[in-house]
Structure formats: C-alpha cells, structure tokens
Structure 1
Amino acid sequence: MTVEPSLRDEMLAALPSLRAFALSLSNDPVLADDLVQETILRAWANTYRFAPGTNLQAWLFTILRNVLLSEWRKRKREVEDGDGSYAATLRAYPDQQDHLDVDDLRAALAKLRLDQREALLLVAAQGLSYEEAAAVCGVPVGTIKSRVNRARHRLPELLGLDGAPDLGPDNVTKAALASLSLGSPA
C-alpha cells in the first residue's frame, strides 16, 4: 500500500509524541514501544480512513489509546506465569472414554424396569422432589422412593461397577498424572 510522502513524513514526525504518550499511559518502555509500533501499523493500514486536513496526531493518539485499552482487556484475562508453575498445577482428565461411558449408562438405563427408570430419571435427572415425581406418575410417594432406591441399586450392577473406585479416572491415568506433578518422566 502506498502512502502519500507528506502523510508518511507527518507519521514519522509524530513518533516521539506517540512514544511519550504511550510511556505516560503504560509506565513500561517495552510496552510503550509495542504500542507505538502497533499504532503505526494500524494507521498505515487504514490511511484511507484518515481525512486529509484533519489533525493526524489526534487520530494517531486515538488509535494508540484504543490499542492500549484492547491490550489491557486482553491482559486482564491472562495469568502471569513466567516459570510455568501455575500451568503445572492444572489438570484435565482425558475424555476419550466419556462418550463410551454415556453409551453404557444409556444401555443400563434401558435395562431397568420402565417404572424404576421413570422414577429415577424424574428424581435424579430432572431434579423433581419425590412428591412431585409421585404426582407425575400418579402413585404414592413411598412407591416413588422404593422405585428410585431399587433403580439406584440395580444401575451399578448393570454397569459392572463395584463401588466408588470404579468412578472417575482409572488407576493408570491417576499414576501418570501423579508422576507428572512430581516432575518425574511419565
């Protein structure tokens, strides 16, 4: 993109003022230099928006201010972690198995008696109280409690779960994550 030589010269003449303004706003010489550079790049790319005869320095200061505000908004969401210590504390369990677990749960739910499945889904999945579920099904509250209890005991059997250790990440995954947190190779 070509820029008129006079506009280019005016931009170059504004550099010291832009740097002083950026430095006064940021109190960081490195950030000030980055702001000025980004301001000039944006101004250069958008010279067609500049109206000749208007105040170029005011236009450049506005661009600089907007660049700085964008930078502050972006940095507000960032976490300072120069040595990586914060990132090392973050964990995410692998989710490759999740969709298979959901399929297994659906299959196990389908094997429950219809009345038990209905009661369990109303109470556990939909969050209805026993009284509300009883009203929906048209049965006494005690019947709903009994159906939910039977379904809750039958469902782990259908899933082949022995207890709480079967829930969550497997032992291999836990060991791999533990070795990473201790700094030893996996």
Structure 2
Amino acid sequence: MSTSRLGAAPKPASADDEGFKRELVVLIPHLRAFARTLTGDPTAADDLAQDAMMKAWDARASYQMGTNMKAWTFMILRNQFYSEKRRSWRQSQLDQEAAERTLVAVDDPEAPVALDELRQALKTLPEEQREALILVGAGGFAYEEAAEICGCAVGTVKSRVSRARRALAATLEKGGYGRDGKAAGDAMRSILGEADRLAGARS
C-alpha cells in the first residue's frame, strides 16, 4: 500500500472556491433576513441560515459561477426550512414582523422597522401569496427566480403575486391607518409598484 499520500499538505483552495466564498459572504445578511421571515425567531433563523450556507458550500461544485447565487442559496434555505418543519408547519407560524424586516433587508438588512399597519395587512394574505409578494415585490427576484425558489410554475407565482397585489391595493384604498400610517402606505405602494414594474416589463 502506498504511503505517498500520508502527511500530504491540504489541497489549496481553488480560485472558484475563493470566488464562491466571497459571493456567499455578501449574501449572509439576506439569508438571515429571509430565514427570519420563515422562522419568526432570530436564533432559529441564524441556525437555519448557517445550515443553508454549509449546504451551499458542500454543494458548490454544482453551482455555476456567474449565475444567480442569491436565488440558488434562497432555494437551499427554503428547502432546508420546509424539510425541518414539514410535520409541524402551520400557516400562522410565518411571523409578520420578521416578514416586514425582510422587506427592508434587501438594501439595508439591519434597518429597524415599526409599521404595524403593514404587518397587519400582510397577515391577511394567504402564506403562499405573502411569500411570493415578498420575493418578487421586496426581494427583487424575477418571476422565474421566485418560481425556482418556491418550487412551482412561473405562472403560479405570477398568479399569487397578482392576487396579493390586488388584496393589498384594496387595503390601501380602505385607508384608516393609525400610527405610522403614512409610512405603512408608502411601504405598500413601493411593494406594489415593484410588482407592477415587473409585470409590465414581462407582459
């Protein structure tokens, strides 16, 4: 038996590995924010994000550099969450405050948010519509990317976003906001505007 490999120096990281690591580090705040949307618990979210990053690293050979790593890692994180929570999942477990933080986390993951009205408006949406609207309207994902993350057809995502958009638009028309009402309305208009922009660009 050859002993030529015993004591050999560790294989140096490849350029692709280094590039992958740099891209993954940039996405850490976004992964944590999305994890908080799903878990509703900061500690559980950090654990979920860490597990997803480890899975992404282990699967790096299957990732094609230059493609959308954000969508790829979000899909890994989402699959990990549903795999862990499949038996105990209830629709009410999607914490609205965490979802609201995700809306702001796209550009500023640490930005504080206190918009009770927006949180309540989102709470009225079915979970699937809420998730689709967050990914497309706030997360900046194209319909195709959101469909890949959610594991459904592009048309299904478009339908969910459209229904969520109409429901929130109706909420806007009703008005009646209390504290932070203007901010809540502005936030919802921003989300709906992004959904409209994507719909118009792809119609």
TM range (shorter): 0.3 to 0.5
Provide the TM-score with structure 2 as the length reference. 0.35
Query: Larger Cα Rg: Structure 1 or Structure 2?
Result: 1
Provide the TM-score with structure 1 as the length reference. 0.38
Q: Which has the higher contact order (CA 8 A, sep 6+)?
A: 2
